[in-house]
Structure 1
Amino acid sequence: MRRGARPGHGRGPVNWLPARVVALRAKVFEKLNGDNAITFPNDQVGPDRFQELYGHPAANGRSRGAGLSDLFWYWLSPGPEVHQEHLEAGPRYDDVARATRSFLAGPAESLSATAGDCTSRVLDEVLTGRVTRVRLRDLMMPIWAEYFYELVFGEPCPRAARDLIVGHATDVVNSLKCTGLRHPARRARLTRYLEQRLADVRHPLPETLSRTEQVHYLQGTYFNTAVVQTSEAMAHLLLALAQHPEVAARLAQNPDDDRYFAHVLDETFRLYPLFGIAHRITTADISLDEQTTFPAGSVLCFNYPVYHATGYANPDEFDPGRWERSTARHAHHIPFGIAANRPCPAWRFSPIAMRAATRVVLRRVTLHSSVTHTRSLPSRGPCLLVRDGPVPSLTPMRVRDRWEDVWRSVVQLVLGTAMVLHARRLRLAGRYFDTHGPQGCPVRH
């Protein structure tokens, strides 16, 4: 099925309401951006210059001075001020980045084996019959909760700890997608657990952070961002395989064909990038040429889905074969950012772990789904896991997904608007930088 296509026809609310509500939500967030925000690619900076601007040394502000920061800090609490994605450039960021690299380093064989073991354990719990109905993101959450627990503490993850991590990560991603409100008390339970376990962490923590900040660093980096993003990425990958059985069959029949898996993963990240828009604040004037200048303090919003759709034939189709004719390095394709401007620290590690988990899944079941596959995936990816025998009808899943899309889009509008207003009132990022410098030092007025 073509990306974004909806089964059925007609002009009822099932067909037009979700799109209208999504457009209205976009207007709400545009309003929050403020007048100094510019979204790319556009007529001024097109796709061919997108990475040039993205990688400019002065396009390196992360939170200070952007209206959007208050909202992201609100969603990522506790500890957004030490979240690696939102730290301003300088000694604190360098210290945190070093620590993160040490946790994510290791031989590929070890990283792969751990991912496979965690996937097998969770599937053993879940696969109790011939056909199992799941939401793929929910299926993946405990796998990656166990995985990152082992990376951080160097031991198998207890069930109680896994439940805390999954509860926290689910709460964060539901609020980010505006399908649920935040539950600070649920998040605080994980914070208290990590504070008790701080001495058991297997690598040195950033020395420039206080004890409380070190706890927040662990919670935000590994048990929020890492668990959420890897679960989202796997949900997109498995849902794409469920809807393209010929691709899944080729992977299952050739599990050691790493090149083809890389093409499938590149195509998944191209079509369903984990980030919709990344915002950067200019810390100095940027002059790309005589006609293109952005003053210091501009908020640059880089639209990944739009950029990833440019420069390709049939960009809305899921086609891993396109990477046999071109390379990701020279395409409009930056799933992990770019090296010139703080790329994602998991750029090496994620494909290794995801490949191992995918092999285990495809060895155990076949995947089947008829739902609409969108980048934001608010449905969490309904899917059937079939161990053997005939596949049940997918029509009930399709019908349910269409109606869920209607009420869920309304919920997203209401909850999203409520959280935008609450975030503006709390003004977490703005208040922090009113009293702290970019390196976290208190400012005396």
Structure 2
Amino acid sequence: MAALGAGFALSAPYWLPKAVVALRVRAFAQVNGPGGVVVPGGQVGPDRFEELYAHPAANGRSRGAGLSDLFWYWLSPGPEVHQEHLEAGPLYDAVARTTSAILAGSSADLAATATRCAAAVLDGLPSGGTSGGMTSGGMTLVRLRDLMMQVWAEFFHELVFHDPCPPGVRGLITDNAADVVDSLKNTRLRHMDRRRRLTRYLLGRLAAGEVPHELPAGLATARDRAHYLQGTFFSTAVVQMSEAMAHLLLVLATEQDVQRRLAAHPDDDHDLGNVMNETLRMYPLFGIAHRITTADIDLGGGVAYPTGTVLCFDYPAYHASGWSDPQVFDPGRWDRVPARSAHHIPFGIAANRPCPAWRLAPLVMRAVTREVLRRFALHSSVSHTRSLPHRAPCLLVARGRPAPRGRRWAALAFLRLRDRWEDVGRSLVQFGLGLWMVRDARRQRLTERWFARQDAPAAPDARAAQDTPDGGEGHEVPGCPHSGR
């Protein structure tokens, strides 16, 4: 029995995380109830995935879906003005135009800004900190997602304010973004105090007239405008770009031939573009994107959905369809298959809430990748999954200071062993915290309560004074709301 128990315990890293993930998936599938429809699947296969996704009536975002309560909970404060969660209409259109304007710029200027921001963060690596610390032999152990969050905090601060990001503010932004994504991945509970510190900073900049962009008039209060900036640029943009870069760099850390080729030919946009396409195919930034039908949909051939159906578009399943070897990392496939005919929508569908950074993201990702490869060779031995809950541990070896092979192998063996056992504890934590947050989000009913207030007859002054959803915690903060930093 002792031997059986020891074998059971020692084998846990190989079976327990998968078992817990399966349980989490089953638990979260209950959030939407029987009205949720996963696509591709059932009536709609991969061949009609984009047709359904692009349908004009598949445009509801928050009203009427159990998943909305959960996402509003995770993205608080201010989910009601977050571009991704606004319903279609004049305010969504105005917010989308503003976001596009803030993200606009010449390719050369945007790439130069991204390179400069990456250099500023990478220059600070030897001093250690949360992203990593120097080891002997010119090696630095980092979590790539944490490292990249600092880069994108700098970058989006410059886009929004047209001035460099102060060191203390970089911390406010990364604390906020990390808290959002960690709660989304169920590795930690929310800490609204961390998020509100960034809100106070944004309120101060707005009060001082230091936002050089015209924000939508439909964002009626300073707090609405602060929450729009926070949710769009300093939560979603920082998180998504950090995840995208962590996936890309982790791929390079494990695909050594590809990394050497890109490092030797840094100006080869075509090769790097293929690597990025393949990375986002295998590790899409979106797992499930849900839409609520705002009218009946009839695609013909017996495919029909009534108003109010929650459509759950499964990006990983769609990206894996249509290929003979979907689990093989093969950048060369993009020279054999035209991108337009591939099952590949890394930035969504143009007809249905496309990602506002669809032009910006590839451009600045190339710039940051080149800056990283110019300075470091990357090595990693950890697992690579779409959700990336381990934040992508990686060994950076300074170019020109090659580490002894034995020392590097020892570091990689440590990473592999640590990753296996961290996965066991983390999967249990994710299961417990995930269930707790699902219950808490369902208890608070953020979207249901919000739309009930909007639909109720009320005088304009009364409606303007109503509290906005914040995960059950009011927006009031100590001190003057315009005290800035």
TM-score range, shorter chain: over 0.9
The amino acid of 1:413's aligned partner reads: F
1:15-68 CA-partner distances (Å, limit 9, x unpaired) = 110001000000111010111000010131000000000000000000000000
Secondary structure at 2:424 match in 1: helix
1:313 is displaced (CA, Å) by 2.2
Question: Does residue 12 of the first structure (1) align with residue 11 of the second (2)?
Answer: yes
1:287 is displaced (CA, Å) by 0.4
1:10 is displaced (CA, Å) by 10
Aligned to 1:176: 184
Aligned equivalent of 2:159, options 151, 157, 172: 151
Aligned to 1:405: 423
Secondary structure at 2:31 match in 1: helix
Aligned to 1:305: 316
The amino acid of 1:426's aligned partner reads: Q
Secondary structure at 2:55 match in 1: coil
CA distance in 2, matches of 1:215, 1:164: 14
Aligned to 1:6: none
Secondary structure at 1:145 match in 2: helix
1:327 is displaced (CA, Å) by 2.2
CA distance in 1, matches of 2:93, 2:373: 39
- Pick which of 200-209 and 373-382 moved more: 200-209
Alignment of 1:204-243 (within 5 A): 204-210=214-220, 211-243=222-254
1:201 is displaced (CA, Å) by 1.0
Secondary structure at 1:320 match in 2: coil
CA distance in 2, matches of 1:305, 1:33: 20
Aligned to 2:115: 116
Secondary structure at 1:200 match in 2: coil
Aligned to 1:432: 450
Alignment of 1:196-211 (within 5 A): 196-198=204-206, 199-210=209-220, 211=222
Aligned to 2:34: 35
TM-score, normalising length: structure 2: 0.88
Question: Does residue 138 of the first structure (1) align with residue 146 of the second (2)?
Answer: yes
Aligned equivalent of 2:195, options 184, 187, 200: 187
Alignment of 1:61-76 (within 5 A): 61-76=60-75
CA distance in 1, matches of 2:93, 2:303: 31
CA distance in 2, matches of 1:361, 1:290: 51
Secondary structure at 1:312 match in 2: coil
Aligned to 1:324: 335
Seq. identity, %: 62
Structure 2: state its 5+ residue gaps.
1-7, 128-133, 465-485
- Residues 59, 157 of structure 1: alpha-carbon distance in 2 compared, 3 angstrom cutoff: same
CA distance in 2, matches of 1:257, 1:313: 27
Structure 1: state its 5+ residue gaps.
1-8
Aligned to 1:164: 172
1:202 is displaced (CA, Å) by 1.8
Question: Does residue 421 of the first structure (1) align with residue 431 of the second (2)?
Answer: no
The amino acid of 2:140's aligned partner reads: T
CA distance in 1, matches of 2:243, 2:154: 16
The amino acid of 1:79's aligned partner reads: G
CA distance in 2, matches of 1:341, 1:278: 11
Question: Does residue 254 of the first structure (1) align with residue 272 of the second (2)?
Answer: no
Aligned equivalent of 1:379, options 380, 390, 393: 390
Aligned to 1:4: none
CA distance in 2, matches of 1:14, 1:409: 10
Question: Does residue 244 of the first structure (1) align with residue 255 of the second (2)?
Answer: yes
TM-score, normalising length: structure 1: 0.95
- Residues 362, 437 of structure 1: alpha-carbon distance in 2 compared, 3 angstrom cutoff: farther
1:381-439 CA-partner distances (Å, limit 9, x unpaired) = 0000001323411111101100000000000000000000000011111110111159x
- Pick which of 321-330 and 377-386 moved more: 321-330
CA distance in 1, matches of 2:219, 2:81: 8
1:344-378 CA-partner distances (Å, limit 9, x unpaired) = 00000001110000000000000000000000000
CA distance in 2, matches of 1:328, 1:202: 37
Q: CA RMSD in A?
A: 1.6
CA distance in 2, matches of 1:164, 1:379: 22
1:297 is displaced (CA, Å) by 0.2
Aligned equivalent of 1:340, options 327, 344, 351: 351
CA distance in 2, matches of 1:279, 1:21: 24
Question: Does residue 276 of the first structure (1) align with residue 268 of the second (2)?
Answer: no
Secondary structure at 1:197 match in 2: helix
Question: Does residue 102 of the first structure (1) align with residue 101 of the second (2)?
Answer: yes
CA distance in 1, matches of 2:44, 2:92: 29
CA distance in 2, matches of 1:19, 1:271: 19
1:299-356 CA-partner distances (Å, limit 9, x unpaired) = 0000000100011121001111100111222100001001111210000000111000
1:242 is displaced (CA, Å) by 0.3
1:160 is displaced (CA, Å) by 1.0
CA distance in 1, matches of 2:438, 2:327: 31
CA distance in 1, matches of 2:322, 2:58: 24
Aligned to 2:5: none
- Pick which of 125-134 and 61-70 moved more: 125-134
CA distance in 1, matches of 2:41, 2:92: 31
CA distance in 1, matches of 2:267, 2:67: 43
- Pick which of 324-333 and 369-378 moved more: 324-333
